[in-house]
Amino acid sequence: MTELEAEVRAQLKELNPPEKHAKLVKYLIVLTREQARRQKINDRYLAATAVANPDEGTICLIPDFRWDLAHEIGHLVWFKILTKEQRESFCTLFNRESEELLGLIMKVFGKFPSKMVSDVDPHSEKEEEVFAWHYAFYLLHEDYPRTYPKSCRWLRDNVFMDEEN
């Protein structure tokens, strides 16, 4: 049993579904994204990160930590790379487009973990959290440049300027 599978099984145990429900799971397959690609898992399932085959009682999980990783890297960029002027510039942009950001969050709500719209960590500033969301959207959401061109342009010009040549 891999470490990933052991973790999934531990979390399944924590869920504590009724025994009748738990017995429906005959096979539990846990793959990394790379393993899933090598198995030629359909891109739709790869994006969903989970698929069930009720006829066989099989659940295949593809743990996806990309949102969390991108978001947390965004926090590091906020503190370690952005200048005070860049942070202020981002805050100005955010304040102008806050309603649009809420729309983006709701649009991708089903694609990413619900914790992204949960309460803001009391140890961080609202603008820092929003920046981390934008950072993750920039890296992961293919519609982001078309839907929010101003925010995308700001990130490209202020954060990714040396990376995209």
* More confident site: 37 or 122: 37
Q: Which two tokens stand for residue 114?
A: 């619900």
Q: Where are the chain's structural domains?
A: 3-61, 66-158
CA-CA distances (angstroms) from residue 97 to 55, 110, 113, 134, 152? 47, 22, 23, 12, 12
Q: What is the pLDDT of residue 105?
A: 62
Q: Which of these ranges, 68-77, 127-136, 142-151, has the smallest mean pLDDT?
A: 142-151
Q: What is the pLDDT of residue 76?
A: 95
Question: Predicted confidence band at 141 (pLDDT cuts at 50, 70, 90)?
Answer: confident
**pLDDT (tens digit, 9 = 90+) per residue, 66-98?**
888 999 999 999 999 999 999 999 988 887 776
Question: Predicted confidence band at 123 (pLDDT cuts at 50, 70, 90)?
Answer: very low
